[in-house]
Structure 1
Amino acid sequence: MTKTLAETQITTARARSKLGLGVHWRRVDAEAHLGYRKGKRSGIWFVRWRNHHAGANYKQAAVGVANDVNDKVMEGKLTFEQAVTQARDLVNRYRTEAAAQAAGPAPTVRTAVETYIRERNARDSRRAGREVRSDAGHRLRRYVLGQGERGSQGAVEAATLAAVALHALQVDDLLIWRENLPVELKATTKQRLINDLKAGLNAAWPRLSAEQKKLNPAFPSIIKDGFKAERVDDDDEVSVARDNQILTDAQVSKLLRAAREIDGEQGFEGDLYRLVACLAATGARFAQARRMRVGDVQVNEHRLMVPGSYKGRGGNGGSVPFPVGEDIIEVLLQGVLDRPKEAILFERWGYDQEAGTMVWRRSKRGPWKTAELTRPWRSIRERARLPEAIPYALRHSSIVRGLRNRLPIQHVAKLHNTSVKMIERHYARYISTALEDLARAAVVPLVPQHVETVIGCT
């Protein structure tokens, strides 16, 4: 290979159609090049980059099939812009891993937690004057590291989080771990566990080498955000139906109107509005709505099939049919037309940052992630002038709406994929009002309208 790269015009489908068979190159950065291999039937994208850890040779990886028909987004094929984005991701991922390996064995969440447990055990032993194991160690082994059979307790597999390298840790890794914690954990136990893991990860940061810190300088903020980020689909047991979270139908309409406006202003192209409309109509948890498929919108029946929650011991118990109005069907219709039934219903555009710049470009569409509703929701509630409203208020309001409309408690619980016990615990006040209204409707006059008094007779 010559020192000067001979670049070819491969940025458009039309330009590529004029090229001869073989490989053509375009520079991605100073030491990485996007390749286009033209064949008799189709073209292929691949990327090569200089491997400084192997005598400055080049490494190479496939990127994907080229869209040689036009320059529009096409499923299964990549335009030039999409290929560049994916090529940069591949190269950056390799460079990060290579730098981590050069700096020594990459520390993981597991190694950080194990070190923290040893330090906690030593501290608690000093305080007790004898060898003891800390409570933190018991919690972290059970819910992070995994453990074998212990007495009557069965073996517990390690959480996926345990294997994540610290330099690659992201906020989503922590949020997913939190979401997968057992629902039967008491709120206080869960918070202690979260505090233990947070302390263990924070303690690992000062011990990392200077080279490893360069790999992920945002590590401290990732730990902070991962454990403090607002949970938009938190457990029923923790979310209490406060009075200011029970919205009237008019207030829900204001939120939907605001969602439609924010959707347009922030370039969501209807993705945000459709999601919020579904949450308002069904009272589904965010985690349930983001698992819905196109086939779950049953247009003719005016019905949505809402997937069961993963919460509770029973796991996902299938889908619950939820009747909705013509207005909701019209809103969702744009998201189901000409799409396969098995496709994820609620998607949005993802964005990738260009390497070494502040420029963000659209990458690809995919399902909503756990914390992605948080930021646009702030704009929605400000626009609707409901500053205290949280996304979970739509669920609270849907449950109370069912109770006020005199639906049986069992039916309300079934529709909202929860238990009668939870309904009775958090919505007792509204149940009492609904039952009183039912009882009042059954009241009938008992005292005669005209009472004739018999004074006596002679």
Structure 2
Amino acid sequence: MHWRRLDAEAHLGYRKGRQSGVWLVRWRNHHEGASYKQAPIGTANDVNDKTAVGVLTFQQANKTAGDAVARARAEAAAQAAGPAPTVRSAVEAYIEERDARERRRTGRDVRSDAANKLRRYVLGQDKRGNQRAIEAAPLAAVHLHALKEDDMLTWREGLPKGLKVTTKQRLMNDLKAALNASWARLSADRKKLNPTFLTDVKAGFKAERIDDDDETSVARDNQILTDQQVAEILQAALEVDREQEFDGDLYQIVVCLAATGARYAQVRRLRVGDLQAPERRLMVPGSYKGRGGNGGSVPVPVGDDVIETLLPAIVGRPSDATLFERWIHEQAPNGIEWKRSKRGPWKRAELTRPWGAIRERAVMPDVIPYALRHSSIVRGLRKGLPIQHVAKMHNTSVKMIERHYAKYIATALEELARAAVVPLVFRSGGNVVPMGKRA
């Protein structure tokens, strides 16, 4: 045996065999009486053949040994500090936080959207009713101190092919947030995590092994509506409202979505006091997306027609009441008939069913409510509004506007630039006589 020092307490070893040598590594294990631990790392490339496969030169063995020692030390430190946290424990803690936040918002015992997605695609879930059991992803069992970029990329590539691009992106954002939160939660004992943890997480969700850009672009193009198409959707919403006896509740919320370009979740949180009729504007609350900084409200100007449509929703109501409400139906005792019981705010998925009727009536089978937001953003760009202002009104970032609506920005800027074009080249002919130069 021959040993070469890696650091003060680790060595790379070489042992000559009958056919070829073997590389080993040993390191001092302070968690088990300061004894040495030893492990083989590969076959030696004794003849330094650069074309050989499956064997290690001295330089390769040196790096492999260093990586092996780093992993062993991180795992030993994590185990000595207590139960090693896993992706599962990080996600479960994140779900608990998100569920608690959702309960505070709604005042009801409900699950967050993140909880449903992460259980389905990461943690797995037991059989419930007609829903089949789902096995946990292998990623859930990985210890955080051993988590690598490839683990996350492998999980991404294993997601169902038919999963919508936007759903996939939200799912990855939730998982990334859960892992980043675990770093903050374990800040007092970073021995339980690899020092490169945050870098690995960032790389694992940033690397584009799954190319979604083209799909995202096509999806948005299909959802940019003309002013005439928006008017047709609003007319369809009015007709469906009357037929299904919404008493104007459905029509009002769809008008607000079209007029403000806000997300459905934002519109649901509007209060009576947010409708400022004299100023002809709505104070749209910020979304809960991101890490914060979306608090407060953004003033969004609207037309007299929108104010007139929404005025019935505020008559005789306190300013802190939810602006958009609808009738809640309950089944009569010992009967099958459903009757109106009381009014309450719109819930997360309650627009889905009437929206299906709206797009069928408007003969737009693929249009989604979010199309009203896309169209509002593009409308602002085409009118020459500054990108920063469009982003502010729609509670998003300039970066996101530039990424998803780049070609509409280019078209709008070109039209503005064209308005500044003046004739520069002299044209002869006709009855125009050029004046002579001054002497």
Give the TM-score band, short-chain normalised: 0.5 to 0.7
| Residues 91-149 of structure 1: CA deviation (Å, up to 9, x unaligned) | xxxxxxxxxxxxxxxxxxxxxxxxxxxxxxxxxxxxxxxxx9xxxx8444223345xxx
Aligned length: 273
Contact kept, 8 Å, 1:381 with 1:389, in 2: the verdict is: yes
The one-character-per-residue Cα deviations of 1:200-241 (angstroms, maximum 9, x if unpaired) are 233xx4xxxxxxxxxxxx573999xxxx99999x96999755
Task: State the shift of 1:281 in Å.
Answer: 0.3
In structure 2, do the counterparts of structure 1 residues 437 and 313 end up closer, same or farther at CA, with 3 Å as the change threshold? same
Give the greater-gyration-radius structure (CA): 2
Q: Which residue number in structure 2 is paired with residue 440 of structure 1?
A: 418
Partner of 2:148: none
Does structure 1 residue 406 correspond to structure 2 residue 384? yes
Inter-partner Cα distance in structure 2 for 1:221 and 1:352: 29
TM-score normalized by structure 1?
Answer: 0.53
Match of 2:363 among 379, 385, 391: 385
Q: Give the structure 2 partner of residue 267 of structure 1.
A: 245
Between the aligned partners of 2:88 and 2:323, the Cα distance in structure 1 is: 36
Q: Which residue of 2 aligns with 1:160?
A: 99
Q: Is 1:195 equivalent to 2:132 in the alignment?
A: no
Provide the residue aligned with 1:426 in structure 2: 404
Deviations 1:237-293 (A, max 9, x none): 997552221001111011101111111111111110000000000000000000000
Please tell me whether the aligned partners of residues 263 and 270 of structure 1 are also in contact (alpha carbons under 8 angstroms).
Answer: yes
Superposition misfits of 4+ residues, deviation over 6 angstroms: 161-164, 228-232, 234-239
Q: How does 1:139-218 map to 2 (within 5 A)?
A: 139-145=87-93, 158-160=97-99, 173-174=110-111, 176-178=112-114, 194-197=120-123, 199-202=124-127, 205=128, 218=129
Change beyond 3 A, Cα 1:423–1:231? closer
Measured in 1, the distance between the counterparts of 2:130 and 2:97 equals 22
Contact 2:233 2:358 in 1 (8 A): yes
Aligned to 2:131: 220
C-alpha distance in structure 1 between counterparts of 2:310 and 2:395, whole Å: 22
Deviation of 1:313 after TM superposition, in Å, equals 1.5
- Aligned partner letter, 2:297: S
CA distance in 2, matches of 1:432, 1:261: 38
SS at match of 1:362: strand
Counterpart of 2:407 in 1: which secondary structure?
A: helix
Equivalent residue number for residue 205 of structure 2: none
Pairing of 1:47-86 with structure 2 (within 5 A): none
Deviation at 1:196, TM superposition (A): 2.5
Aligned-pair distance for 1:353?
Answer: 2.6
Q: Contact 1:282–1:322 at 8 Å: present in 2 too?
A: yes
C-alpha separation between the residues in 1 aligned to 2:356 and 2:165? 11
**Contact 1:140 1:193 (C-alpha < 8 Å) held by counterparts:** no
Name the CA shift for 1:365/1:196 in 2 (closer, same or farther; >3 Å).
same
CA contact (8 A) 1:309 1:315 kept: no
Partner of 1:317: 295
Structure 2 distance, partners of 1:374, 1:138, is: 37
In the alignment, what sits opposite 2:6? none
Tell me which amino acid in the other structure corresponds to 1:296.
D
Supply the distance in 1 between the matched residues of 2:102 and 2:361 (Cα, whole angstroms): 42
* CA distance in 2: counterparts of 1:349 and 1:246, whole angstroms: 32
Q: Which moved more, 1:355-364 or 1:292-301?
A: 355-364
Deviation at 1:316, TM superposition (A): 3.2
Displacement of 1:418 in angstroms is 0.3
| Contact map agreement 1:229 1:371 (CA 8 A) in 2 | no
1:299 pairs with 277, 287, 292, which one?
A: 277
Aligned to 1:82: none
In 1, are the aligned partners of 2:125 and 2:133 still within 8 Å (CA)? no
Partner of 1:417: 395
- Aligned-CA RMSD value: 3.8
TM-score of the superposed pair, with normalisation by structure 2: 0.55
Corresponding residue of 2:326: 348
Q: Structure 1 CA distance, aligned partners of 2:291 and 2:331?
A: 40
| Match in the other structure for 1:359 | 337
The counterpart of 1:257, out of the listed 235, 253, 258, is 235
Question: Partners in 2 of 1:394 and 1:143 — Cα distance?
Answer: 33
Conserved? CA contact 2:102–2:110, under 8 Å? no
Measured in 1, the distance between the counterparts of 2:364 and 2:109 equals 28
Amino acid corresponding to residue 339 of structure 1 in structure 2: R
1:274-330 deviation line (CA, Å, top 9, x unaligned): 000000000000000000001111111111111111111225321111111111001
* Structure 1 segments unaligned to the other structure (5+ residues): 1-131, 147-155, 165-170, 182-189, 206-217, 454-458
1:283 to 258, 261, 264: 261
8 Å CA contact 1:346–1:367 kept in 2: the answer is: yes
Tell me the secondary structure at the aligned position of residue 349 of structure 1: strand
Query: Could you tell me how far 1:360 is from its partner in structure 2?
Result: 1.9
Counterpart of 1:173, as a letter, is: V
User: What amino acid does structure 2 have at the position aligned with 1:420?
Assistant: V
- Give SS of 2:344's match: strand
| Distance of 1:384 and 1:264 partners within structure 2 | 15
Q: CA 1:230 to 1:429, structure 2 compared with 1: closer, same or farther past 3 Å? A: closer
Q: How does 1:68-147 map to 2 (within 5 A)?
A: 138-145=86-93
Matched position secondary structure for 1:414: helix
Deviations 1:155-200 (A, max 9, x none): x964437999xxxxxx9934x332xx8xxxxxxxx96664134x32
